[in-house]
Structure 1
Amino acid sequence: MGGTLRVVLGDQLSRGLASLQDLDPDADTVLLAEVMAEATYVRHHPKKIALIFSAMRHFAQQLEGEGIAVAYTKLDDPDNAGDLTGEVVRAVTRVAPERVIAVSAQEHRLAQEMQGWSEVCGVPVELRADDRFFCSTDGFEQWARGRKSLRMEFFYREMRRATGFLIEADGQPTGGRWNYDQDNRKAAPDALGTPDRRRFQPDAITREVVDLVRARFGHHFGAVDGFDYAVTAEQAEQAFEAFVRDKLPSFGDYQDAMKVGQPLLFHAQIGAYLNCGLLDPYAVCARAEKAYRDGHAPLNAVEGFIRQILGWREFVRGIYWLKMPGYAQENRLNATRPLPRFFWTGKTDMRCIHEVVEQTRTEAYAHHIQRLMVTGVFALVAGLDPRAVNYWYLVVYADAYEWVELPNVTGMALYADGGVLGSKPYAASGKYIDRMSDYCRHCRYDVKQQTGPDACPFNALYWDFIDRNRDKLEGNPRMSMPYATLKKMQPEKLQALRQQAETFLNSIDYAEEGEW
């Protein structure tokens, strides 16, 4: 006995993980454990659970192939303690290591739990920082210190300079601009054909996991049927390479576009792989930059792609650790309305909401504009409770972990942090959805009508949101245009819009707390 017990979490499936870098194959043991507590602290989408469990089993198989001792607990092991701390204690009892080493969790609740491992295990526990990010939490705190506002654009430029991605020899950004977002807002034409993503036939390990998930988590939102995700680093790299080859050249132009029946368009759908450790963010950004340098993809596509990883992904993680635990309670707009049941069922005449919820049920995925400007905007203008909205986003997406989900929802979508993350609320009427999608053409509601039985609900909800939050938002310089319009609006028209919004909101079937 002796040696070190090295604990690997389900979202740490990277061979270069800090806790594995000095592993001694002759003395150490690696612990991976499928536990009910992590699968059910929210009712995760079955495809997310299947992805993590199958990837964990394949990762364990990889380590064993290298001659490394692995202690692996399956969910249906009769001796399974049910939570991660219990499994670490069980492993310490069996293995009798001299110490335990792990990389600290990225979710605040689990990181706090891990702080108590040494006491309950009775052996020294070393918690290492997660170095799979470009910017450490200490580095982000240092960048944020003394700033009046925290804006992703300025952080992103620092990350570009620090990494050298899309930076020329003279230190200037490639192409002379830092950001090509203005070039990335084209609606997809009707005849646009899009290649499918790389899909993978489940092997015996994955089929066993799928059966387990179907039996244990079949009551969760979504279904595990048709599972075809990558479950190894090799497969994830194949999926990403297929994106670079087939989709990246058009990603920039159409990254904000939405179309009925086309959930992926030119998106990579690699967030789930990045966030569980199957893909390395540095390698992904480097490969995208190479596609530009080789003339395979245009600059607006590559810069936009790199910005999502090097910019937004790193920025929201920094905000999360800078502001937790209080950030989870933010509700600056005092939004209290429960979550509509159609967020779970998809049963609504609003075609945009229906499309996004249905594809999310099937794929455990929606792209960033669908999340922000469809379900997110509805949640914002309808005044939905941030706690309920955060719960929903954490449940339904395979790439959702609190560190990345919470700032995107609380800060970006709901403006519930009062402007910590974003400079203005992303409130919008139906015009935006009509401009960026074909959803409105297939909808019962008329996007051009503001009041009446056929009016698009987004239109009245938008003006109701603007009016009822006047005291909190009117002083925001980026909100000057809607408030200037509001001041010119006839009182009778505003009253009609507010009545329209109230009538619609009162017609909604709301879910009970804890129902899902």
Structure 2
Amino acid sequence: MSKTLRLILGDQLNTQHSWFSKKDDDTCYVLMEVMQEQEYLLHHHVQKILAFFAAMRNFAHQLKQAGHKVIYIKLDDKDNQQHFDKNINLLIKEHQITRFEYQLPDEYRLDEQLKAFCNKLKIDWGVADTEHFLTARNDIRDFFGNRKSYLMESFYRHMRNKLGILMDGDGPLNGKWNFDHDNRKRYDGKVPLKQPLIFSHDVTELKTMIDKMGVRYFGRVEAGNLGWPLSRKEALELLTYFCEELLPNFGTYEDAMLQDHISLFHSRMSFAQNVKMVSPAEIVDAVLKAWNKNKTTISLAQVEGYIRQIIGWREFMRGVYWAKMPEYAEKNFFNHKNQLPKWYWDGETKMNCLNKCINQSLDNAWAHHIQRLMVIGNFALLIGADPDEVDQWYLGIYIDAIQWVEITNTRGMSQFADGGIIGSKPYVASAAYINKMSDYCKHCHYDYKKKHGEKACPYNSLYWNFFDRNRKQLENNPRISMMYRMLEKFNKQELEATLKQAEQYLADLDKL
């Protein structure tokens, strides 16, 4: 009699997978908490570790309740070998397994590890798709062919056509592919803010366990209470809450930032989605249903802005990852080598925007895309931070960060370390942008209007320093040629004072 062992990774918590469509006494599922996954990175956010473990344990419980055979290996189990390969080998021997199966991992390192492991097995083995994404791994590579850069907009339009979403025949509904002109406004108080839906999970015992095991981490978890969805049921509750309460204003304010509200109208679905509790198809379907039901309160612009993130950006980033790894992880277009300031780890900086965004990340393991890109990532790029360290920081701190989505966003979109594969220009900005999109500057130690002098905002001098020092790489880029024309028009003394201010700040970043 054949006995099959199926591995489920911590980001494969998909109860809708065809694996679970029928019960089989000769098939056993295994989930495992292993130090291997705690130690490949310097350290993860404590909430990220706790959320993954708690969600995995809940998933295993749900499988058992549904009648499936499940082995769950806890981090502190005495027989835990703390490594996928070693635990699987032990289980194969103990349970006389004759076939091993796994779902395609979404991280390159695990994909390589499991392929190498299986090639050494003396029993049958097989691989299944995760049945989650809207595209296959190689779709992006096939779509763009040998082009040096990939344009997300053309891929997004392709996806709209392919899936028949917001289409009118062969063209976009209402004649527009993109509603960015209507969206991405500063929060103006015209509509009331909604509090995010926060769950309540006591993870005190889990926290005690990871401390006992010596797991390295950073960040904070208040009183052992975890607010993230840990089951499909909760993920669907969060999706419903977004569609009913937040979607009507999502697009309008999707780029806005407030120091006293962490998420404005964002869904905060990314963790649930990235561990596959809920699929992108389900999310898109829910958003479209909410819009069709409430077109008087939900505009097409809100819906398009959100769907673009799901079927466009998310699938695009995954496709770039599989098209360009492993070389992508080594790219450093500007040859940046500087270390991140120490306050990236504790939030203790006098720059209010960074203080608020980093502390929010430390407190919640989450920040929205503009906080990540245009405040935290922007500063890292302006100071010439080593993209290796930037990747490690982002991969560690955010609850939704899995390498396939993290590295393409940070090394590509945020740091331009890929030289333009993903973005056609570096995403840098001075204090003017941050002031335009937030209320951070009015509460800051620094003056957002000043380029140099006492309390001059560091973003301003660092912004011009960035363009000045990277002239050779960037001056022929048509999307930023205007910046070099502006540099040429600078008064000589003003430019010298601005660049001198930048050098002073760069020399003592920890004190900013």
State TM-score, norm by structure 2.
Answer: 0.95
Matches within 5 A, 1:442-453: 442-453=443-454
Aligned partner of 1:257 in structure 2 is 256
Secondary structure of the structure 2 residue equivalent to 1:230? coil
2:208 and 2:248 mapped to 1: Cα distance? 38
Quick check: 132-141 or 393-402, which moved more? Answer: 132-141
Aligned partner of 1:299 in structure 2 is 300
Secondary structure of the structure 2 residue equivalent to 1:254? coil
Q: Deviations over 1:176-204 (max 9, x none)?
A: 1111112212111257632222222226x
Kindly report the root-mean-square deviation, in angstroms, between the aligned alpha carbons of the 2 structures: 1.7
Q: Deviations over 1:89-121 (max 9, x none)?
A: 122112222211111211111111001222444
Quick check: 343-352 or 95-104, which moved more? Answer: 95-104
State whether residues 2 and 96 of structure 1, in contact with CA within 8 Å, keep that contact through their aligned partners in structure 2. no
Aligned partner of 1:181 in structure 2 is 180
2:356 and 2:378 mapped to 1: Cα distance? 15
Distance 1:213 1:268, change over 3 A: farther
Aligned partner of 1:221 in structure 2 is 218
Aligned partner of 1:36 in structure 2 is 35
- Say whether 1:363 aligns with 2:360: no
Q: Deviations over 1:58-111 (max 9, x none)?
A: 111111111111011011101101011122112211222221111121111111
1:227 and 1:221 mapped to 2: Cα distance? 15
2:214 and 2:260 mapped to 1: Cα distance? 27
**For structure 1, which runs of at least 5 residues remain unmatched after alignment?**
511-516
Matches within 5 A, 1:62-461: 62-147=62-147, 149-168=149-168, 170-189=169-188, 193-202=192-201, 206-213=203-210, 215-216=212-213, 220-225=217-222, 226-294=225-293, 295=295, 296-461=297-462
**Shift, 1:124, TM fit:** 2.1
State whether residues 104 and 114 of structure 1, in contact with CA within 8 Å, keep that contact through their aligned partners in structure 2. no
State whether residues 89 and 120 of structure 1, in contact with CA within 8 Å, keep that contact through their aligned partners in structure 2. no
Quick check: 190-199 or 454-463, which moved more? Answer: 190-199
Amino acid corresponding to residue 260 of structure 1 in structure 2? Q
**Shift, 1:389, TM fit:** 0.5
- Say whether 1:479 aligns with 2:480: yes
State whether residues 317 and 409 of structure 2, in contact with CA within 8 Å, keep that contact through their aligned partners in structure 1. yes
Amino acid corresponding to residue 418 of structure 2 in structure 1? D
Secondary structure of the structure 2 residue equivalent to 1:180? coil
Quick check: 397-406 or 285-294, which moved more? Answer: 285-294
1:191 and 1:351 mapped to 2: Cα distance? 25
Quick check: 375-384 or 186-195, which moved more? Answer: 186-195
Q: Deviations over 1:476-508 (max 9, x none)?
A: 110111011111112322221111001011122
Quick check: 125-134 or 78-87, which moved more? Answer: 125-134
1:6 and 1:216 mapped to 2: Cα distance? 26
State whether residues 13 and 59 of structure 1, in contact with CA within 8 Å, keep that contact through their aligned partners in structure 2. yes
2:343 and 2:323 mapped to 1: Cα distance? 34
Secondary structure of the structure 2 residue equivalent to 1:56? helix
**Shift, 1:418, TM fit:** 0.6
1:31 and 1:128 mapped to 2: Cα distance? 15
2:336 and 2:431 mapped to 1: Cα distance? 21
Secondary structure of the structure 1 residue equivalent to 2:388? helix
2:174 and 2:109 mapped to 1: Cα distance? 43
Amino acid corresponding to residue 291 of structure 2 in structure 1? Y
Secondary structure of the structure 1 residue equivalent to 2:130? coil
* Runs of at least 4 residues off by over 6 Å: none
Q: Deviations over 1:433-475 (max 9, x none)?
A: 0000000000010101111021110000000000110100011
State whether residues 23 and 67 of structure 2, in contact with CA within 8 Å, keep that contact through their aligned partners in structure 1. no
Distance 1:234 1:22, change over 3 A: closer
Distance 1:249 1:457, change over 3 A: same
Aligned partner of 1:514 in structure 2 is none
**Shift, 1:23, TM fit:** 5.6
1:501 and 1:216 mapped to 2: Cα distance? 44
State whether residues 46 and 218 of structure 1, in contact with CA within 8 Å, keep that contact through their aligned partners in structure 2. no
Secondary structure of the structure 1 residue equivalent to 2:221? coil
Secondary structure of the structure 1 residue equivalent to 2:201? coil
State TM-score, norm by structure 1.
Answer: 0.95
Quick check: 269-278 or 217-226, which moved more? Answer: 217-226
Aligned partner of 1:504 in structure 2 is 505
1:260 and 1:215 mapped to 2: Cα distance? 36
Quick check: 140-149 or 410-419, which moved more? Answer: 140-149
State whether residues 316 and 407 of structure 1, in contact with CA within 8 Å, keep that contact through their aligned partners in structure 2. yes
1:185 and 1:217 mapped to 2: Cα distance? 43
State whether residues 150 and 421 of structure 1, in contact with CA within 8 Å, keep that contact through their aligned partners in structure 2. yes
Number of residues of Structure 1 aligned to a counterpart in Structure 2: 506
Aligned partner of 1:2 in structure 2 is 2
Secondary structure of the structure 1 residue equivalent to 2:345? helix
State whether residues 38 and 216 of structure 2, in contact with CA within 8 Å, keep that contact through their aligned partners in structure 1. no
State whether residues 342 and 348 of structure 1, in contact with CA within 8 Å, keep that contact through their aligned partners in structure 2. yes
Q: Percent identity?
A: 40
**For structure 2, which runs of at least 5 residues remain unmatched after alignment?**
none
1:336 and 1:148 mapped to 2: Cα distance? 25
State whether residues 76 and 213 of structure 2, in contact with CA within 8 Å, keep that contact through their aligned partners in structure 1. no
1:319 and 1:481 mapped to 2: Cα distance? 29
Q: Deviations over 1:315-353 (max 9, x none)?
A: 111111100001001001111111110111111110000
State whether residues 415 and 422 of structure 1, in contact with CA within 8 Å, keep that contact through their aligned partners in structure 2. yes
Distance 1:304 1:394, change over 3 A: same
Matches within 5 A, 1:14-25: 14-17=14-17, 20=19, 24-25=23-24
2:148 and 2:288 mapped to 1: Cα distance? 33
